[in-house]
Amino acid sequence: MKQHLPTFDQGVSALIEDIYARGMDKTTTVCVWGEFGRTPKINKDAGRDHWSRVNFALLAGGGMKTGQVIGSTDSSAGSAKDNPINYLDVLATIYSNMGIDPHAMVVDISGRPNPILPSTVSPISRVYS
């Protein structure tokens, strides 16, 4: 992390600044999202294991309101506390920003219609804009 994170941070922040400077912030979404969070406690090998209960996503652009933190964890970062956002809501947000209705139906190879995402999910931009 000490070696790679500063370069990553500089690259992501430069990308976001450039998108806003060029006026592309309404039509371009930047998403930084890992596959897992990390356990709230250090393990026997002085590391942290995968933890699916809590994760993060950084979203910028896409016409969304910026400069906000949505959701929080308990004091140990072990579980969601305030305003938890499901990963499906993050996907709905990205689809919506791309102009894809997250509730649209797609037809599979057998001709059956299937929703892209469940009807219960909602794009974050609609909830917190």
Which tens digits make up the pLDDT trace of 36-70? 888 888 899 988 889 888 998 999 999 888 888 88
> Taking all residues of the chain, what is their mean pLDDT, rounded to a whole number?
90
How far is the C-alpha of 117 from the C-alpha of 122, rounded, in Å? Answer: 10
Residue 34: its pLDDT value, please? 87
Instruction: Look at phi and psi of residue 127 and say left if phi exceeds 0, alpha if psi is from -120 to 50, else beta.
Output: alpha
Length reported for the chain: 129
Helix (H, G, I), strand (E, B) or coil at 61: strand
CB atoms within 10 A of CB 94: 20
Question: Does position 126 have pLDDT exceeding 80, yes or no?
Answer: no
Mean pLDDT of 102-121: 96
